[in-house]
Amino acid sequence: MTGTTRLTVLGAGVMGTGISALALGHGLPVTLIDPDSEQLARAEARIDQELRLAQLMGTLPPDTRTGRLLTTGSPGELGEPTAVVEAVTEHAGLKAELLAEVSARVPPGTLLVSNTSSIPIDELADAVARPADLLGTHFMNPPSLIRTVEVVRGARTGDAAMAAVAALLGELGRQPVVVRDAPGFVTSRILHPMINDAARVVQEGTATAEAVDALMHGCLGHPTGPLRTADLIGIDNLVDSLQVLYLRTRDEGCRPCELLLDKVRAGKLGRKSGEGFYTYQEDYR
């Protein structure tokens, strides 16, 4: 990429706001698009919170002026981005529809990124005008605090797109690790079935969520425990990812357990809803 990087982010949920905050904190201008006006308003407040936290944690470059944020409800108001990051919920049809619309509007060579935790990039590439411009990333939550980013090269991703994402992540102070395309890639293929198993242990009455996390942290070195991680991911997002994995691999370990499904039905989605396996003082939606 040459000149000033201009980022457009599709989706003002947890990951869309997190990626936007990361980019803004590194001085990049961001256009954030979501058709839900209330979601956009919440996103602006959440971005301010994330920027303050990142500044307190010292994870933003010093003496860098925060980038300009524009918000809009229309995918037709892309601006003139050098890169577009799609960060909507983990539904292949919705992602493909948005990427198709965007790819028809931007010039050839514009980097198109799907921030997905599980959907193979080559499936999404069927929808876009130029598959060579499309690749996948899997930013971890919160993006401003986790430096490593999983980068997924699809079968039709071009060298220019790979160079462009490396340059973008370099501007954002992130370390890319490139993997091949497959359902769940590396992180979700390993982590999400493990969380499913942890929830199943609680469902079966073997241990409480607190006990599972204490053992996984104290005995096995997991930083937070799998069920606190589930709350951070969003239990609805976790279930969506597990369903993608199950449908594409038929691995029974990826079939969401009933406890996870019950929590989604009850609206207990984790940190963003104020309650999941644990309770939280703030609703981050």
pLDDT at residue number 1: 41
Look up residue 35 and give its amino acid.
P
Is it true that domain 7-180 has CATH number 3.40.50.720?
A: yes
Question: Which superfamily is assigned to 188-273 in CATH?
Answer: N-(1-d-carboxylethyl)-l-norvaline Dehydrogenase; domain 2 (1.10.1040.10)
138 given a catalytic annotation: yes
Q: What is the pLDDT of residue 75?
A: 82
Find the catalytic residue in 26, 138, 192, 222: 138
pLDDT in tens, 63-99: 889 999 999 998 888 889 999 999 999 999 999 999 9
Check whether 29 has a pLDDT greater than 90.
Answer: yes
> So where are the chain's domains?
7-180, 188-273
- What's the pLDDT at 52? 93
Average pLDDT over the chain, rounded to an integer: 95
**Tens-place pLDDT, residues 115-149:** 999 999 999 999 999 999 999 999 998 999 999 99
Contacts of 204 (CB under 8 A, 6+ apart): none
Estimate the crossing angle of helix 14-25 against helix 37-57, to 10 degrees. 50
**With a threshold of 0.75, does the pTM exceed it?**
yes
Instruction: Indicate if the alpha-carbon torsion angle 11, 75, 125, 153 is positive or negative.
Output: negative
